[in-house]
Amino acid sequence: MSTRLYMLGLAALVACTSPLPAAGPDATPDPTAPTPSYDDDTDTRASSDRTLRFYYGPMKIMNGENALFSIGVFTGHDFGGWDYTTPEPTSEAFFDSGNAEGRYYRHCRQLGGCMEHRIPLGRTGFVNTGFVLQLERAVIEACNDTEAFGMFPGNEAPETTTAVDVLRHQYRAAFGALPTDEELELSSVYFEGHLEDPERSDMSALESAGRGHCRALLATNRFLFY
């Protein structure tokens, strides 16, 4: 990684010191120049500013809809549906629509707007404070749903499994890969501390720790970016 970063910095330096293209956006077009077309491969417009653009794959952030459904898949929690023919879920007229609470609507709206919604102009397209707070609400709602066990191996309460089993399951399900040794160690420390002093008393200590760890994983950038 350090070599890559060095190369990237080098490329940026080269780009900064490279001469600017001769023709900028405001340059007057030459009326005698031939019109480029798609059957013409002799295009000379390509500038020399070819940086390390293609050295890495894309890195994107999940939109609200992807994040909510992914949290739902990971935890087994149901955020409620959204009927795109329903204009306002909080309206009394739509109490029978299956989403009278408007949970999905509120989450999705704050997370950047979802498909089939009326989305606010100037909606959030980046991770701002409102986004983080709303994501936290969604994660807490899903991980603390006592009827959802998707965050545990076998999709059931962790009675015969161990903390390591839960950890490995959660890492793979959330990030697609098993934890590294360092991650496993850090998460194990969390589990050990939580098992000694469980957050909740209405479930086993391991389940309580697993739900707390669920919240931690889903609130990371690693989960949100892909």
1 burial (CB, 10 Å; 0-12 / 13-18 / 19+) is exposed
> Could you give the CA distance from residue 90 to residue 69 in angstroms, rounded to a whole number?
21
Name the H helices within the chain: 2-17, 64-75, 103-110, 129-143, 163-175, 181-196, 205-218, 221-224
Exactly one of 17, 42, 85, 129 binds another protein (CB under 8 A); that residue is 85
Residue 32 lies near another protein (rule: CB under 8 A): no
Q: Quote the least distance from Cβ 116 to another protein, whole Å.
A: 6
Numbers of helices and strands, H then E, in the chain: 8, 0
Q: Which stretch binds another protein (CB under 8 A): 46-54, 129-137, 182-190, 200-208?
A: 46-54
Question: Helix (H, G, I), strand (E, B), or coil: what is residue 127?
Answer: coil
When the beta carbons of 81 and 193 are compared against another protein, the nearer one is: 81
Q: Quote the least distance from Cβ 147 to another protein, whole Å.
A: 18
Contact positions toward another protein, by CB under 8 A?
4, 21, 23-25, 27, 29-31, 33, 35-39, 41, 43, 45-47, 49-50, 52-60, 62, 65-66, 69-70, 72-74, 81, 84-88, 115-119, 121, 172-177, 225-226
